[in-house]
Amino acid sequence: MQISSSLSIWERLWRRALETASELTDGMIWQGMLRAQRQPEDVRRHAEILSMLKGIDRLFFHELSQYPEWAQDVELRGRICSWVSSIRRINTDTVSLKMRGSTYRFHFTSRPCASADGEKLHHHGTLQLFINGRQVLGLKLVQDDEALDVDWHEVDIDTFVNGNWVADLKSLSQQILSENRVREPHPSDATAQLVR
């Protein structure tokens, strides 16, 4: 890489950041300060990724995050998807499960955040997914305080590494729906909405 010395230090840093970002786009995208400088094709790709990930947050909140407690309850244990071979809550924010030979670790944190005028309170959260110890997803989520029973909504992507895990989680959602239909001929709205 040869950058003209007549460029300012900031221009050189910015060009290097862009080169680094283009090197990362095959695997990991939307990291650091480049999020604010998306080009139109990047915005389109961002929308495609968010669309592809629709339902993964609901899969976590409505099913997978409940599994450790369900595993302890004789009546609820049967609701755990047959594909899941082991499940445990590592701490209040983290759930780990084994499925088809891989370990999926979901880590969720949230915090309250007031609007600029102080009138409205939201909750901002981050849902991260690690597969076999490697982070493949980081989603930024938001939820209105006035309706805490509503789902979290994806607002941005922190980390995304494309791979078979997306299809695997979509298949898991479908399997859960299928198993739930056998147990409950009329599934709850939350369960029926796992995959949009």
What are the CA-CA distances from residue 5 to residues 8, 11, 18 (Å)?
A: 8, 10, 18
> Tell me, what's the pLDDT at 187?
52
Quick check: 14 and 37 in contact, CB under 8 A?
no
Strand order in the sheet with 153-160: 84-91, 94-99, 102-114, 121-131, 134-144, 153-160
Task: Inform me whether the pLDDT recorded for 167 exceeds 50.
Answer: yes
Q: Determine the Cα–Cα distance for residues 60 and 78; give it in Å rounded to an integer.
A: 18
Task: Inform me whether the pLDDT recorded for 42 exceeds 80.
Answer: no
Domain locations in the chain as residue ranges? 9-37, 53-192
Average pLDDT over residues 186-194: 51
Quick check: 88 and 98 in contact, CB under 8 A?
no
Better-scored residue on pLDDT, 30 or 76: 76
The dihedrals phi and psi of 168, each to the nearest 5 degrees, come to -60, -40
Quick check: 36 and 167 in contact, CB under 8 A?
no
> Tell me, what's the pLDDT at 55?
79
Q: Residue 31's closest CA among 39, 22, 21?
A: 21
Average pLDDT over residues 142-146: 69
Task: Inform me whether the pLDDT recorded for 180 exceeds 70.
Answer: yes
DSSP 70-137: HHH-TTTGGGS-TTEEEEEEEETTEEEEEETTEEEEEEEEEEEEE-TTSS-EEEEEEEEEEETTEEEE
Structure tokens at 18: 């862009």
Task: Inform me whether the pLDDT recorded for 61 exceeds 90.
Answer: no
- What radius of gyration, in Å, describes the C-alpha atoms of the chain? 20
Structure tokens at 178: 């299928």
Cα of 136 vs its chain's centroid, Å: 9
